[in-house]
Amino acid sequence: MPTISVILPFYNAESTLDKACQSISMQSFKDFECILIDNNSDDQSTLIANKWALKDPRFKLITEAKQGVSYASSKGSLLASGKYIARMDADDIMLKSRLELQKEFLETHVDYGAVGGLVKFGGDHQKARGIKRFIDWNNEITTFEEIALNQFAELPVINPTLMWRKEIEEKYGGYIHGNFPEDYELILRWLSQKVKIGKVANEVLIWNDPPTRLTRKDNRYSFDAFYKTKAQYLSKWLRENNPNFPKVYIWGASRLARKRAKYIEEHDIQIQGYIDISDKREIDEKIIHYKSIPSPEEAFILIYTPQKNIKKKIAKYLSDKGFLDGTHYLFAA
């Protein structure tokens, strides 16, 4: 049996699939199988995948009739025979030492269930500045402690960099199909089950940005979908970690911040008020000037302000007041 099973679902990926497979075939670690899952393609993708299955016995082609990347990924995992499972997308390029580095990490860190890695952006840095900012932020989040602290700010591990122990998926489940981002839900679920997830401190993938990528066109990757998904797991985290549960304060009183924060109220979290730089904002909620916030012992604060520079200022202000990240406050945007 191979040590690693690479799971690569694809749908109409004729322009990128061959390069993706080529990058997998050239890995420095050779003891792997690559399960290619055709998810009802009607272009030349199937022929490309079949070519790889014929010329390299490590590549195997299967099909999944249920449309959806979560169904295809789950079928690949079900048929995987490796000790470790590595996720890959048909749009991307696996860098040569990825499998070797991640296998060594999991074999060295026996208490970790999964590992990701850094990525190189293969898209247009100007036209896709938002994605580039997300990648830059993601590449700064490297340790388990940082991943855990930032899990509700944004997806802290880029999905196609992920490798996990097969028993983790068997115990806690894999990707679930639904009206939500399945990769984010997976990470939140595993973290909620105390699965330790780390990253190798190396680039393992060129993450491309084609117009067909699901994160660009699928409603499951909308901002609302992300905030609805995180609300369920954030409420569980607060129950376990907030000494003032179920009471929280929200830093951010804009209409958008209030809309996104409201999702946690559906999970029995009680919002005590909204912290703002002004106490003059006219809303039907309690407004608290940031200089009048309660003490760390009296308040747990969720920060719903997404701008990186403002978040840094908020964190410094709270730190100066004796608030500790993950103990008295948490980033939720």
Percent of the chain past pLDDT 70, that is, above it, reads 97
CA proximity to 333, closest of 313, 316, 310, 317: 310
Task: Let me know whether 47 and 145 are in one domain.
Answer: yes
Whether residue 279 lies inside any domain: the answer is yes
Q: Among the three residues 186, 221, 256, which one is the final residue of a domain in this structure?
A: 221
Task: Let me know whether 58 and 188 are in one domain.
Answer: yes
Predicted confidence (pLDDT) at residue 220 exceeds the cutoff of 70: no
Whether residue 29 lies inside any domain: the answer is yes
* Structural domain total, the chain: 2
Sequence-distant (≥ 6) Cβ neighbours of residue 53 within 8 angstroms: 36, 59, 60, 61
What mean pLDDT, rounded, does the chain reach?
95
Q: What integer pLDDT is reported at residue 279 of this predicted model?
A: 74
Whether residue 230 lies inside any domain: the answer is no
Q: Is residue 323 helix, strand or coil?
A: coil
Task: Find out whether 170 and 85 touch, Cβ atoms under 8 Å.
Answer: no
Task: Let me know whether 214 and 82 are in one domain.
Answer: yes
Whether residue 130 lies inside any domain: the answer is yes
- Exposure of 299 in the CB half-sphere (CA atoms within 13 A): 22
Alpha-carbon distance of 261 to 244, in angstroms, equals 17
At 249, the pLDDT band (50, 70, 90 cuts) reads very high
Predicted confidence (pLDDT) at residue 62 exceeds the cutoff of 60: yes
For residue 118, list its beta bridge partners: 203
Mean pLDDT, rounded, for 107-136? 92
Q: What integer pLDDT is reported at residue 215 of this predicted model?
A: 58
Task: Let me know whether 214 and 250 are in one domain.
Answer: no
Domain of residue 267: give its range: 242-331
- Residue 113: which CATH number? 3.90.550.10
Q: Which of 139-153, 187-201, 221-235, 311-325 has the lowest mean pLDDT?
A: 221-235
DSSP string covering 52-78: HHHH-TTEEEEE--S-SHHHHHHHHHH
pLDDT digit string (tens) for 71-101?
999 999 999 999 999 999 999 999 999 999 9
Q: What integer pLDDT is reported at residue 130 of this predicted model?
A: 83
Instruction: Give, for 253, the enclosing helix (H) or strand (E).
Output: none
Task: Let me know whether 136 and 80 are in one domain.
Answer: yes
At 127, the pLDDT band (50, 70, 90 cuts) reads confident
Predicted confidence (pLDDT) at residue 43 exceeds the cutoff of 80: yes
Task: Let me know whether 247 and 217 are in one domain.
Answer: no
Mean pLDDT, rounded, for 236-249? 97
Whether residue 234 lies inside any domain: the answer is no
At 331, the pLDDT band (50, 70, 90 cuts) reads very high
Mean pLDDT, rounded, for 215-229? 78
Task: Let me know whether 131 and 268 are in one domain.
Answer: no
Task: Let me know whether 260 and 154 are in one domain.
Answer: no
Task: Let me know whether 158 and 10 are in one domain.
Answer: yes
Rounded to two decimals, the pTM is: 0.94
Alpha-carbon distance of 34 to 52, in angstroms, equals 10
Task: Let me know whether 163 and 270 are in one domain.
Answer: no
Whether residue 227 lies inside any domain: the answer is no
Task: Let me know whether 214 and 246 are in one domain.
Answer: no
Whether residue 309 lies inside any domain: the answer is yes
Give rounded-to-5 percent helix, strand, coil for the chain. 40, 20, 40
- Residue 265: which CATH number? 3.40.50.20
pLDDT digit string (tens) for 267-322?
999 999 999 998 778 888 999 999 999 999 999 999 999 999 999 999 999 999 99
pLDDT digit string (tens) for 158-208?
999 999 999 999 999 999 999 999 999 999 999 999 999 999 999 999 999
Percent of the chain past pLDDT 90, that is, above it, reads 89
Whether residue 58 lies inside any domain: the answer is yes
Task: Let me know whether 104 and 217 are in one domain.
Answer: yes
pLDDT digit string (tens) for 196-219?
999 999 999 999 986 665 555 566
